[in-house]
Chain A
Amino acid sequence: MWNNFLISLEIMGKGMLGIFAAILVIIAAVWALGKATGKKKE
């Protein structure tokens, strides 16, 4: 049980890091897209 708990903490760290990494890259992509396509209004 304790071994699984320790693994779950590792999963928590890596998981949250992975989510934020993906989201930050998406934000950067959206920012870049906004700059590149900003002149074309809907």
Chain B
Amino acid sequence: MEFLLEGILSITWQQAIMYVVGVALIWLAIKKNYEPALLLPMGFGAILVNLPQSGVLNQALEGVGETTGVIQWLFEVGIEASEAFPILLFIGIGAMIDFGPLLSQPVMFLFGAAAQFGIFFAISAATLMGFDLRDAAAIGIIGAADGPTSILVSQVLRSRYVGAIAVAAYSYMALVPIVQPFAIRLVTTKKERRIHMEYKPGQVSKTMRIIFPIAVTFIVGLIAPSSVALVGFLMFGNLIRECGVLGTLSDTAQNGLANLITLFLGITISFSMQAEAFVNVDTLLIMGVGLLAFVFDTIGGVLFAKILNLFLKKKINPMIGAAGISAFPMSSRVVQKMAQEEEPGNIILMHAAGANVSGQIASVVAGGLVIGLVSSFL
């Protein structure tokens, strides 16, 4: 009968902690509705990969030899070998994004750029905590506020912390409604938060919508070649959406493809949540630096708007700058909600939405630049 107890007796305390982490992620997904599409598969996967001699990982069986575990295989093929899962997800994301609010007021692009500051602040903070450059850069990219980009960059840089980084990225994306109002209030006055903005969108032709993803691919590809996979697939998805002749493919990309890849990505990333690699002080530090990244993204965007206001007659509500992070559409909704709370009837949603979709582009540019710049120092 001993063989029946073998599994139970071989559970380590680190694995027990991972069961708690797994259940906590599932609880957050179901009870709090925090990024459930990702956190639930990750939570369940965390339990799967931490069961003793788990069959979802490669195992050496006596008399049989090595067996292939499905989650390990998915990780090696879909993330480690090609980063295919996060990249393919960008087709779906691109197909979901309407760049109209941004194209009608291009100045909003600037806020997407400014709100990437947290990435670089977090990289510096991580180096001060003793992480080497490779891991610091991978941790800093949590500030991209974009799960697939975080996974891809940390994987390309061969960071040891892919699992913790993915958990931090998706957790803080879910916590944007808590983190951003706190950071915005730190650096704005009530008067600034009450600023009204007139919405006068320019016209956006269909031709422009079609040329835009192609042009962005060329521009970003030439300036930051490492981001071509990210921005290229994002823009490919958007071209499918806007071309007008691929309605079925656009629907598939937005729904079937995005859902399928999200499902696989969540359960696959749990491979990197094995107890021996996950349960340590570094994971807590990564969660801390990730929070800093989100806070300083927000502060970077807001302060940039305040600097612009020094030169503008018609002032910008500086909260728009906070919407420049990639967490779409949550960030723009948070900013609109705050504006409404400060002064009922203050509508800045379309401006915020423009800045928010700009953050989608700027975050993948930032991801590519981080890969290119950091690898030149390794």
Contacts and interface: CB of A to CB of B under 8 A. Distances in A.
Contacts of A34: 103, 106, 202-204, 208
B205 A37 contact: yes
Nearest to B218: A29
Interface in A1-15: 1, 4-5, 7-9, 11-12, 14-15
Interface in B66-123: 103, 106-107, 109-110, 112-113, 116-117, 119-121, 123
B263 interface: no
Chain A, interface residues (CB within 8 Å), range: 20 to 34
Contacts of A1: 127-128, 130
Secondary structure class of chain A's binding surface, majority of residues: helix
A41 B124 contact: no
Interface stretch (B6-14, B187-195, B253-261, B369-377): B369-377
A38 B124 CA distance: 44
B225 to A, nearest CB: 11
Interface in B219-238: 219-220, 223-224
Contacts of B206: 40, 42
Contact of A26 (B109, B116, B131, B204): B109
Contacts of B211: 33, 37
Given A8-B127, A40-B205, A18 B212 contact: no
A11 B137 contact: yes
A19 B137 contact: no
A18 B223 contact: yes
Most chain-B Cβ atoms within 10 A of its Cβ — which of A15, A19, A30?
Answer: A19
Interface string B207-219: 1100110011001
B21 interface: no
B165 to A, nearest CB: 17
Secondary structure class of chain B's binding surface, majority of residues: helix
B136 interface: yes
B116 A19 contact: yes
Contacts of B208: 30, 33-34, 37
B133 interface: yes
B207 A15 contact: no
Given A4-B133, A22-B223, A27-B109, A33 B215 contact: yes
A23 B108 CA distance: 10
A1 B208 CA distance: 48
Contact of B110 (A23, A29, A38): A23
Given A8-B127, A18-B224, A33-B215, A26 B361 contact: yes
B362 A19 contact: yes
Given A15-B369, A25-B219, A8 B362 contact: no
Given A15-B373, A23-B362, 12 more contacts: A5-B124, A11-B123, A14-B373, A15-B369, A18-B224, A19-B116, A19-B366, A23-B113, A23-B358, A26-B219, A30-B109, A34-B203
27 contacts: A4-B132, A4-B133, A11-B377, A14-B369, A15-B116, A15-B366, A15-B369, A18-B224, A18-B365, A19-B113, A19-B116, A19-B365, A20-B113, A22-B219, A23-B110, A25-B223, A26-B361, A27-B106, A30-B106, A33-B212, A34-B103, A34-B203, A37-B205, A37-B207, A37-B208, A37-B211, A42-B203
